[in-house]
Each structure stands twice: as structure tokens, then as C-alpha cells.
Structure 1
Amino acid sequence: MVRPYGQGRDRCLLVTYDVPGYGETQPFMMPCGSESPYADDPSRRISRSMMPEGYMQKTGKDFDWSLYGEDTEPQKKIVNAFVTRYAEFERSGRGLYIFSKVKGSGKTFLACILANEIAARRPFSLKFITLPDLIELVKSRDELDRQTLDGLYACRLLIMDDIGAHDGGQAWINEAIFRLIDYRYRERRPVIFTSNCDTSHLDCNERIADRIEAMTVPLRMPEVRVRKQIAARESGEFLRSVMG
């Protein structure tokens, strides 16, 4: 259950979760303010984002579109617009839905690069979460986990990685996912989603798919596995650096 509490600058949310097998959590306050306390230090904001460490220092120059071996101009135009005109995306509450059927096609890598580029230009808080980790946070009664969950609501930009990677038949999981997505939809706080399917094939309830469609621009990635190529190139660069 999510209930508004307070008014004006003191406004926040009281959040309670009823988790089957765990019982109802105690109500806890979720701050609505989302400015980062480390506004002048992008690297520190990124380090606190829960983003995979290997992606934290990556920028646009690290993403090699030529690895796909096909025309990627439409994708690059969307990506460039998202970074250079992010203020307009945020005003409309619109993020990206990055998807392809092939695993290892660079979806998560690209999502993290976009977040890094935006964080470098704007004093925004950002968070990264996978669907399995989100489910564990919702189940947890640990106070630190609750604070982490709060941050997913409050941050200015959120990456939700691998959306649809859960049992869509479990109602409580769908409800927890919907609450987070619906809150960010209503508050116009953009989300970058990654997924192995388009929204019409998401293994979740219709409300979640409808919200995602309403709050994102779809970005279909080429059906090419580039993860191994990237790993091989980085390994080669590392070896050259240590061997002179």
C-alpha cells in the first residue's frame, strides 16, 4: 500500500508491502526529494547507483556500434537525442525501452552508458536494479534494504534491467513492480528498461506493459551477440597494457 503523507516540500509517501510467506512490512517513509547529495561529484553518484562496477566508468565512446555489422543509424539517433535533449524527455516523464531477443546484445551496457552520460551533465541521482534484486528488496524486512527500495522511487533516473525476467503468474510480484513503475509514471521520473522481448510479450500483467509503453520510447537493438566481441577486445587491451 502506498499513501501520500504531508504537504508541499515535506510531502513523502508511506509504503507498506504485504509479502506472501513473510507477512506485512511496517510502514516506512519514502522521501519524494530526489536531488543527489553528491551533486558536484558524478563519479560518486554513479558509484552509489548499484550499477555493475564494470560499467561505471563507461561512456559513449566505449560503445562500438560497428560490432553489429548493420545500419544502426536509427538507434544512434534515439540514443543521441536521449542524452542531448534529456530535459525534454524528463519533462514528459519519458525514458527508453531497450530490447532484443538475443542475450548479450549490449542492452545493459548501453543503458548504463546513457545513465553515465546524463549523470556527468546533470546533478541527478540515479539507480540501477535488476528484476530479481527488486523482488528480494520487496521481500526483505531489513531497514537498509527498505532504504534502498526508497531510492528506486525517489531517484531522478532509474535503470530497470531485464524487465520480464520473473514469474508473471505471481500476483504480489506484479503488484510490487507495478507500484514502482506507476509511481514513476505519475511523477514523471524517467526509467530506462532493458528486456529480451517487446512490450507485447512481457510476462507480466497488462497494467505493467501499458505503463511501460506510455512512459518510454522503444529502442530495438540488433539481434547480434556483441558481448563476447567486447570482452575479447577489452581482454586484448588489458594484456597489451600489462605487457607493454
Structure 2
Amino acid sequence: MPVEIFNLDQGYAVFSNSNYQTRKHAHYLIEVVFSHTGTFSISTAAGEFTGLTNAILPPNVTHSFDCLHATCDLLFLDPLSPAGRYFMQAFTLYQSNSPVTNHPDLDAFHVGAGVNIPLLLQRAGTPDNSHLDERIRQCLRTIDALAHTNHLTLTQLSKASYLSEGRLSHLFKNQLGISVHQYILWKRLMMAILKSRQGSSLTACAHDAGFTDSSHFTRVFYKMFGIKPFFALKS
């Protein structure tokens, strides 16, 4: 599953794969899947979805993915990014536990050469997280600044956001749909992928992104993506 496009600042990444399947996993990012050739299938708690040519998986939906007889592009979007917010609103993904499948409005986002990034950015517009509580925005800024260190704690974030640890945990989960700890792991994963794209070894990626070691990085990556990082990042 090689990484084709990766933009940490704008919150999107494109992977491509063929003859590939994952075990059940869940992640914070929106996952949009397009088929180049053949069809793919997705399994969630809502059921088995087969014969797919496109699909959207909302954040945090446990799923497995099978494109053993297809070639697919996978677009991952940070829900807080402009593109992520557009998809959350346009396809009614808030509080959804079911995938959107074979939606005709997705066709414009996938052209012969792959994902239509210019259209994606055009629809996305400008960043706007004004819907978030200012204390949560401050917490996110602190995570962005310190996620690469391996000693970032809830206590630090509590002080930075002027909330008790319990109140911060509750408000963060309520507004982002993910725990503080899971969000930090996501930021570290994104940093590690960026380092890999720049040519670093998996061990160097893990340490530079704030993971304890490469084994820790591998466990988190496998849990989130359902595949080991060596196979996803080897290209």
C-alpha cells in the first residue's frame, strides 16, 4: 500500500493498493476508497458491503477492507482539515456508523490519473475550526507543538487548556470523537509517515515522531491501518 501523496499541513494522504486486504481496524481519519479496476468490499458492524467502486468510511468506524481482485486509491482525510470538514458535511458523516457506498457524487473526485486533488482543495475552502471550544483549540496547538516528544502528558495539556484532566478528556472526546491519547498517536503516525517519505528508516521515523521504539510504532500502525508499516511505507 504505497503512499502516493502526503500533505500533513492540509490533512490528506493518498495510498494505492491492489490484491490487498486488512484485518478489522478503526482510525480517526475519514477514509475514501476509489476503484481503478475491479470492485472491492468492506465489512463493518452495519454489514457486508460488496461490489463497490467507491465508498466513504466515517471516522472511528471499525472495518475490514478487501481489494484482492481490484486496484484502489485510498484517500485519508483529517476530519479537522478543510477537506475533512467538507466531506463530513457534504456526505453527512457526523455521528454515522455506516459507510457511504457507490455514491455518484464521489465520481468527480477520482479521475483517470487518480484522486482529483485540485477539486478536493477547491471544495475544501479555507481552514475553520471555530466550531471547537477555544480551550480544545489550545490543546490541539499544544499537541501539534509537542507530539514529537515522548513525554507529552495529559497533565501538560490540562494546564495548557485551563481544564481539569477529567473535563479535558470529556470535552475533547465530545468535540473530536476520539480520545486525547488516540489523537496524539495519530499525529505521531502522520509525522512518522512524513519522515518515511523523506527517506528515514522505520526506526528513525519512530524515534523522530515520539514513539518509544520501532516496535511501538509498528503496533500502533497495525492497529490503526490493519497492515504493518513495512508493507505500507516500503515504497
Q: Same fold (TM over 0.5)?
A: no
Q: Which has the higher strand share?
A: 2
**Which has more radius of gyration?**
1
- Of the two structures, which has the highest relative contact order with CA contacts closer than 8 Å and spacing of 6 or more? 1
Q: Which has the higher helix share?
A: 1
TM tier, shorter chain? under 0.3
